[in-house]
Structure 1
Amino acid sequence: MSDIDVSAEAVVPEKPPVSNVTFADIGVMSQLCTACDKLGFKTPTEIQRESIPWALQGRDIIGLAQTGSGKTAAFALPILQELWNKPSALFACVMAPTRELAYQIAETFEALGSGIGAKCAVVVGGMDLISQQIALSKKPHIVVCTPGRLQDHLENTKGFSLRTLKYLVMDEADRLLDMDFGPKIDQILKVIPRERNTFLFSATMTTKVAKLQRASLSNPVKIEVSTKYSTVDKLLQYYMFFPFKRKDCYLVWLLNEMAGQSAIVFARTCNEVLRIGLLLRNLGIEAIPLHGQLAMDKRLGALNKFKSGARNVLVATDVASRGLDIPAVDLVVNFDIPSFSKDYIHRVGRTARAGRSGRAISFVTQYDVELLQRIEQVIGKKLDEFPGEKDAILLLQERVNEAQRMATLELKEIQASTRKGKKRGREDGDKQISLSEAKRLSKGGDDGRKRKSAKKEGHRRK
């Protein structure tokens, strides 16, 4: 651990040997220790051991740790403990880059804070604004949000403000800036109290975060329990090399080989996610898609089906790559290799979480060799080739070709009905405008006729 401008007065309590350390040893109160025990958190992880004592002393934190290392509890426990000591409405605000991650963080807060009566509200885009306004009017202790929707409420929800805020948390801080949330975050920072604690947490910190550190942190402690870009030791990482036209065939073979295991397949675009999902279903593999163009209730529904084991295969864009804690993922497949190396780290971090082992397999075609080399350079290790029986794989090609044709037709039908729905929506909107315009004009005409008849009546009286 390294610290920044640590004052002489700040003294971290002496810690027992790592093997024997408990949550109580690092200063967590008994009610929260009980909650941790119920959730199966037996001993604090490294990021929790290093950051919680500083946070309980009121210091700002910059935390860098691998995915699956317990970052959410590292900031949730100090906030809940301070809330118990000094109860207040709208006590903490946690910003996350994706809606799914926001819901997951809220679940952790509610589970850890259930014994002390902590109330949490989730404020994200894609959900009903009025129901969120009602939730905010009930004065929750913790608001978990995406920056854009929080800004909407600050501007448009009567009576809502963050004047009483004591804690601001930015989870996946680098991603918040990568997704062009910078201007929104700047606006939010202007309207919240300067006297507060700020926590920045991520698996990968980039140079972009330096500006955010200067703008929002006061005398922070920097805690690194991993290298800048790293993956966990229990993760086995492989690649498969083949011609581009064989990608679908290799995916089907791999999922058949891993039948019964849970897998996340990452693709680059929403359309590709949908196409792969249709292809796999046509071959009897129950896959469920997750991408940014789905309505929020469908996105949460897809996640819940995968978490519960109702579906073994989740096909997703990078919307599922950040922060999501799905403990029992056995395999991550990079169907499309990500363009940015740190996205690879976040994707493969969906498996081998919390001390478990896992596998990640990346598909490499003739167009992806440079991307693979870049990833290997960043993570500091060479990936091994995953063994595959080429003859057995090619035997599947005919069935896969047929499933591809069916998937392409189904995809075209879905796209056509979506376009038709949008067109109908526009036409309905135009009709409504025309009707209102006609009413206005007819009203104007009536008013004109009334004015003329009144004029004539006046002349007659004269």
Structure 2
Amino acid sequence: MPTSFSNLQLAAPLARAVAEMGYEQMTPIQAQAIPVVLTGKDVMGAAQTGTGKTAAFSLPLLQRLLKHENASTSPARHPVRALVLLPTRELADQVAQQIKLYAKYTNMRSTVVFGGIDMKPQTAELKKGVEILVATPGRLLDHIEAKNAVLNQVEYVVLDEADRMLDIGFLPDLQRILSFLPKQRTTLLFSATFSTEIKRLANSYLVDPVTIEVARPNETASTVEQHFYSVPDEEKRHALKQIIRQRGLKQAFVFVNSKLGCARLARSLEREGLNTTALHGDKSQDERLKALAAFKSGEVDLLVATDVAARGLDIKDVPAVFNFDVPFNAEDYVHRIGRTGRAGASGLAVTFVSNTDARLIGDLEKLLKRKIELEAIEFDEDTPRGRINDGRRAWREQGEVGDPRDVLDAAPRERERERAPQRPQREYRAPAAPRDPFFDQPYVAPSTDAPPAWEATARPVKSVSANIKPKRKVAALFKAEPAPAVPDPAQAPAEQSS
């Protein structure tokens, strides 16, 4: 089995591009997968993240597609012949850039389509004709429905990071996309882990695949030094800064579990003088690409990110990864620490464990099949530290005023006091309540003859409502006779005596 790229007998344009990129020795996944893909067989490959899977499927695809190479400007001469599907926008953009570098000395056209940006520029590229299309499933379906992408001549389809695509619910989209492809094709499935769902997917769409496993499923790279520190939540930020200072780290990934916590931690570290940027799902695609570009170029020291950046991002020479939060999914730990120690380089992975992470650590022990020993960390007493509320503000300990450990609030308050002009303090006096003039009048005894005030001012009460019409008076025909007088019994005896 060849281990050097010079022994692969690649076409001259591809060999020239590979040599310019500095590729000499193949990684294990490349050494095993490239010869098989060159024969046109289906492949089901599993490898540790960061071992060169992109070159493992890109180079043999380009080699086999060179027979269709032409310099025609007609879009009909450049149909889509290879489709590469990936779960995230960043990973799709990264793979597309790598393929362009491999094919830059050929006439093969390639482009990438993903969500979060306008479809019009992507549509214009597709209308020109491309042989290799890199896409995320959702945006590709949009172009298929708009009839911008025709896939009836696809010869190769690659499902990269397939386990991640299943985790985020892309299975229905994958099934729809694969239904548009020809039955006769070569299918390559690459994943960092092999689960039951991945094997079921492979059995449905791969024909007699060659299984390539260069590492046990869910195994972490042996070149990564791993540490688990027992740290309370309020001390994690201080522990992060201390390890960076002690180890002399120039750059690092910092992974958190939530988008809100990611933004707050990035702002907090930025306030404390660390050159930091955030990467999470709520940012626009332009902001996410700018954050990655700044981190790759070295303009940013710390990239605080959610698991959107845990898969497949190939950023060379990142010395360390910090798990500020223990991941909810144990398999994400493998992908997170795979951002360092890539392609055989050494790296550092540090995980902060609080007292509420016992269940998550238990899941991680089952995945790694080993007991995790928690280490204690000794803080430098001369470094100010304080309790934080997710990076928004510092809290004083109960009963303490002006505590210098309020690293976020103390310094700004002191600077504001120094800048403010000295003004004499005035004693605060509560405003007097308004007096009622009624109580200032002399006492006057009420008259006994005068009627009460409420009777004098009272209005007569109408016996009949104003809404009821009065009865019409009618002349009486007969006059009622008066009732006979009743004699007084006291006067009757006197009249009889007279």
TM-score of the pair, normalised by structure 2: 0.74
Equivalent residue for 1:113, pick from 103, 126, 134 = 103
Check whether the contact 2:272–2:408 (CA below 8 A) recurs between aligned residues. no
User: 60, 75, 97: which is aligned to 1:78?
Assistant: 60
Which of 101, 111, 120 matches 2:91? 101
Cα 1:281/1:399, change in 2 over 3 Å: farther
Give, in whole Å, the separation in 1 of the partners of 2:117 and 2:191.
26
Question: Quick check: 1:91 aligned with 2:81?
Answer: yes
- Cα displacement (A) at 1:369: 2.4
Q: Give the drift of 1:270.
A: 0.9
Q: Deviation at 1:403?
A: 6.4
Q: Aligned ranges for residues 2-17 of structure 1 at < 5 Å?
A: 15=1
1:48 is aligned to 30
Query: 1:245 Cα shift?
Result: 2.7
1:128 corresponds in structure 2 to 118
1:264, 1:313 within 8 Å by CA — same for their partners in 2? Answer: yes
| Pairs within 5 Å for 1:361-440 | 361-383=350-372, 385=374, 388-392=377-381, 395-398=383-386, 404-405=392-393
Match of 1:256 among 245, 253, 259: 245
Amino acid at match of 1:363: F
Q: How does 1:1-400 map to 2 (within 5 A)?
A: 15=1, 21-87=3-69, 88-158=78-148, 160-383=149-372, 385=374, 388-392=377-381, 395-398=383-386
Residues 362-417 of structure 1 deviation map (CA, whole Å, 9 limit, x = unaligned): 01000112322322332234455556323538x432496896418999xxxxxxxx
Q: Equivalents in 2 of 1:175, 1:391: separation in Å? A: 40
Q: How many residues align?
A: 389
TM superposition shift of 1:288: 0.4
Unaligned runs of at least 5 residues, structure 2: 70-77, 395-406, 410-498
- Matched letter for residue 121 of structure 1: T
Q: Counterpart of 2:18 in structure 1: which amino acid?
A: C
Q: 1:151 and 1:126 mapped to 2: Cα distance? A: 14
Amino acid at match of 1:227: R
Matched to 1:68, the amino acid is G
* Distance apart, 1:253 and its partner CA: 2.6
Distance 1:402 1:245 in 2: 9
CA contact (8 A) 2:113 2:134 kept: yes
Name whichever structure is richer in helix by fraction: 1
Which amino acid counterpart does residue 119 of structure 2 have in structure 1? L
SS at match of 1:252: helix
CA contact (8 A) 2:45 2:213 kept: yes
Give the Cα separation in 2 of the matches to 1:217 and 1:403.
48
Q: Would the alpha carbon gap of residues 183 and 150 (structure 1) be closer, same or farther in structure 2, given more than 3 Å must change?
A: same
One-letter code aligned to 2:12: S
Q: 1:308 to 1:218 in 2, by over 3 A?
A: same
Give 1:200 deviation, angstroms: 0.4
CA distance in structure 2 between the aligned counterparts of 1:399 and 1:213, rounded to whole angstroms: 50
Whether contact under 8 Å (1:238, 1:383) holds in the other structure is no
1:274, distance to aligned residue in structure 2 (A) = 0.4
Indicate the residue corresponding to 1:6 in structure 2.
Answer: none
Compare CA radii of gyration and give the structure with the larger one: 2
For structure 1, list consecutive stretches of 5 or more residues without a partner in the other structure. 1-14, 410-462
